[in-house]
Amino acid sequence: MQYFSLNNREHTSNFENAVLKGLAPDKGLYFPEKIISLPKSFFKDINGFSKVDLAFQVIKNYIGDEIPTSELTSIIEHTLDFDFPVVPINENIGVLELFHGPTMAFKDVGARFMAGSLGYFIKKGNVGNVTVLVATSGDTGGAVANGFLGVEGIDVVILYPKGKVSEIQEKQLTTLGQNIIALEVDGTFDECQDMVKQAFLDEEIQNQRQLTSANSINVARWLPQMFYYFIAYQQLAEIDKKIAFSVPSGNFGNICAGMLAVKMGLPIDHFIASSNANDVVGRYLNSEKYEPKPSVSTISNAMDVGNPSNFIRIMELFEKDFKDLKGHLSSYSFSDDLTKKAMKEMFDETGYVMDPHGAVGYLGLQEFLKKNPDYYGTFLETAHPVKFLETVEKVIGKNMEIPLSIQAILNKEKISFSIINYADLKAHLLG
């Protein structure tokens, strides 16, 4: 499989180079040159596949022979060694729980798969040491730190916005040590992401460090997010209704992977991009004008993105056909007050505890189902509610039990370096 730059179709790359470089030389995101549909028999027999076999069939064409079958299978086994249950809320709504991995966030899947792929290419030889440079608005940092911890030949540098991630999220990326370095940025996530992109274009840095990114701009982080949509469909295949998925959306890598899965034949009929006050895509779908704006802080901080990188991939999936895209994608945004209200009502009525991101996904699904009652809707719980402990406990009025894996890090010492601007980041990378 070859990948082309979304800034210049003439520039192409194989999977290994796309993973190692993260971005194309022209700063473009890589995109597969073709999308191969899975046969109808695959979906007819989908319940006969294990998670690993299912994922292997989904991803193999995007990797080709660049990773041997046995090695790829091993990477997938490690990536998916936890559960992805669809929990029923009522007869028309379920919730896909993606927080049963090691850092209790959906990004464990992409981070583990990328760590395995990159680790294989380094072991294969002729690559040398690689620095994974990544910006996080919340859960990416912890998932990447955990996924790459101790991987030989890889250093990890994580930028995160000061005061804009939860305490537990911060602990997950600042307490591991070893090959993990955390940089606390006095700014927003968008500023962190801009610094990362600037570093990739800096020849002086490139001459001293081989950089790659573990944000969803990297194909090895983005593509495996398809896995859990297929795993969820296994659990929903017998439902005799159209199926919609509501995805809490920030950088739009997650929902983009789901929409790629549909292009491969997965029978999901509609997607809802549910957002907080950072609603650039929703405004685009209403106006056909794409106008990024500075991000604003909310209680669903992992979605505080004012210029989502992966939306250009969604545009490519639909060949920039606005009418076609709007037929497959709806978007709604919700305030913090509405988010809290939904969390409280869900807990009072059902006993189910949603985190702020899942609550936004639930609200978006509710809004869609009002006009489309013939659908069965699934919203994504992308992080365990304990990761937003203070907010959740205050809203539901009840103390939560803290899992042992989280208790283990709460008393660990935070180790991070404060930076203000790109010059600080460059000095750190060259130091």
Kindly name the residue from 51, 107, 164, 387 that is annotated as catalytic: 107
| Cα distance between residue 53 and residue 46, in whole Å | 10
Q: Torsion angle, CA of 251/151/219/405, rounded to 10 degrees?
A: -40
| Cα distance between residue 10 and residue 23, in whole Å | 15
Calculate ∠ Cα 411-142-343, nearest 5°. Answer: 85
| Cα distance between residue 66 and residue 36, in whole Å | 17
Which residues, 6+ apart, have CB-to-CB distance to 359 below 8 Å? 300, 339, 340, 342, 343, 346
| Cα distance between residue 397 and residue 394, in whole Å | 5
Query: Which residue has 């440079």 as its token pair?
Result: 133
94 - beta bridge partners? 88, 378
* Residues 339 and 359 sit within 8 Å (Cβ to Cβ): yes
Residue 149: name the closest of 159, 138, 141 by CA: 141
Our answer to whether residue 293 is catalytic in this structure is: no
**Is residue 210 classed exposed, middle or buried when 0-12, 13-18 and 19+ CB atoms within 10 A define those classes?**
middle
Residue 418: name the closest of 76, 112, 170 by CA: 170
| Cα distance between residue 9 and residue 379, in whole Å | 35
CA distances 267 to 60, 81, 183, 236, 260, Å, are 20, 25, 42, 10, 12
Between 389-396 and 336-350, two packed helices, what is the crossing angle to 10 degrees?
Answer: 60
Q: Among all residues, which ones are annotated catalytic? A: 107
